[in-house]
Every structure is written in structure tokens, then in C-alpha cells.
Chain A
Amino acid sequence: MPDIAFLALSGLVIVSAIFALEARELIYGAVGLAFSLIGVAGLFILLGAEYLAMFQISVYVGAVVVLILFTIMLVRRESGRILEEEEPGRLGRAGILVAGLVALAVAGAVLVLVPASLEAPEFYRVPLRELGRLLASSYAIALVILGLLVGATIVGGLTLVRVEREEKTSGATQ
């Protein structure tokens, strides 16, 4: 049973990741990305990290993908065609080559370095309370830094998107 689930989820992740990069319309690409991220959340569930999977879905699929979709809808020419000037061919082949080499190298290195048989318990769910307790005690500094990051993101993002009155373009408002 978990075998089927794992195979199906990994197939979903890989196929929709490729679709996200190769789909002609950028909107479809974003949908593909959403499915890929949902697949990753499914893998988290298989690994026993349910809360993390929910975190992944609500933050990535529920928030980041929405922002991506909205930005794609803003970043277009009036003609309705998505801005996309791909040139397949040399660059694509080079990309495949580089990516394959890197992936092989990483997989090989990790597989060689990791002991072949790890004794993992068959069933395991992350104890939720323990997660929160750790976050509040051992990771307190990380949490404070996260708070700073949050503040910086808000202020930075708002300042970036803000348009001064004189240089605002016709399409950008309303």
C-alpha cells in the first residue's frame, strides 16, 4: 500500500514539476507547480510529518501559488499573450546535461555516504506538542530571527511595490 502511494506521489511530483517548467502558458505552469507542491506535501504525510504537510499546503499552495498566479496576471502585454520568449535548442540541451550531472552527483554522493540500512520504526507520527515545545525553547533565537525576517519582508515588499505618483504607468493602477 505505501509502495503504491509513494510511486503515485513521486510520479505526480516529477511529472508536474516538468510540466511547470515546460507548459506553454505560464498560468498552466503555475498550476503544475501547485500540483507538484501538493505531491511533496503527500510525501511529508507518508513520512509521518502531517503538520508539516498542512503547513506546506497552506503556505505554498494556498499563498505562494496565489501570489504567483496574481503576478502572472499582472505581468502581461495587452495582447493577451504571456510574455515568453523561449529559445529551445542549445540552451535546453545544456540545461538537461548540467541538471543530469548535478542530480547524479548528488544522488550518488548521498547514497554512498549514507549507511545502507537504517533501522527506522514502522509507524511514526510527529508528536505535535513536542514540536511546539522545541520551537519555543531550543529554537527561540531562530524564531526571533524569523520575526525580523517577517518584518523585513513586509516592509521590503511594500516598498518595492509602491509606485510614486509621478512615475506610475497607465496599466499599473486600478
Chain B
Amino acid sequence: MEPLSSYIILSSALLGIGIYGLVSKRNAIRLLFSVELIVNAANINFVAFARYANPPMLTGWNIVFFSIAAAAMEATVGLALILVAFRLNGTIDVRKLNRLRG
């Protein structure tokens, strides 16, 4: 059985990778990848903490249920937005999507 700290270190590393992507990437789809990675880092933490409580708490698992569901919805709408942005502007580079009018 791993100590809890190793899971925390792993999820922090995943969070770091996600934030790196958010800061340095310009492609909208890659930004979406980063967001998904960050959400997953949070989910790992939820599950790990729920597992290491004594007795294990089901609350953590239930929260992750809703978290995954919400993240899936977010990705759906996000990709639809990217598609619309591409159709209107011909690019998905977020630096160039600086027009506020359609």
C-alpha cells in the first residue's frame, strides 16, 4: 500500500503539467487537454483522500462521480465552441481569437 503522500505528489505533478499547458500553449484544443489534466489531478486527490480515511468515506467517490460528469459536459460544450470559433475565424489559435464580435 502506497503512502498517501505519493498520490499527492503525483497529482501535484499532473496539476503542474496542466498549468504549464494553460500558460504556454496557444491552440484551443491543447488548452482543453490541460483543463482535463487539471480536473484529473483533482479527482486523484479526491479518491486518494477518501480511500485513506478510516473508515473510507464514500463522499469522495460520489464527488468524483459528479466531477467526471461535469468535466465531460464541459468538454462537450468547449469543443462545440472551438468548432464555432474555427468556422467563423478559420483558426483556433487563442491569440488570434481576439475579436469580440461574431
By the criterion CB–CB under 8 Å, are B47 and A52 in contact? yes
Size of the chain B interface, CB-CB below 8 angstroms: 71
Partner of A68, one of B8, B18, B29: B29
Interface SS of chain A: helix
B77, CB-defined interface residue at 8 Å: yes
Q: Considering the complex, which residues of chain B in the window 48-99 have a beta carbon less than 8 Å from any beta carbon of chain A?
A: 48, 50-56, 58, 61-62, 64-66, 68-73, 75-77, 79-84, 86-87, 91-93
- Asked, given contacts A17-B14, A21-B17, A121-B56, whether A75 binds B68 with beta carbons under 8 Å apart, the answer is no
- With a cutoff of 8 Å between Cβ atoms, the chain A residues found around residue B53 in the complex are 118, 120
B residues near A, CB below 8 A?
Answer: 1-2, 4-10, 12-27, 29-30, 32-34, 36-37, 40, 43-45, 47-48, 50-56, 58, 61-62, 64-66, 68-73, 75-77, 79-84, 86-87, 91-93
A residues near B, CB below 8 A?
Answer: 2-3, 6, 10, 13-14, 17-18, 20-21, 26, 29-30, 33, 36-37, 40, 43-44, 46-49, 52, 55-56, 59-60, 63-64, 67-68, 71-72, 74-75, 83-87, 91-92, 94-96, 98-100, 102-104, 106-107, 110-111, 114, 118-122, 124, 126, 130-131, 134-135, 138-139, 142, 146, 149-150, 153, 156-157, 160-161, 163, 169, 172
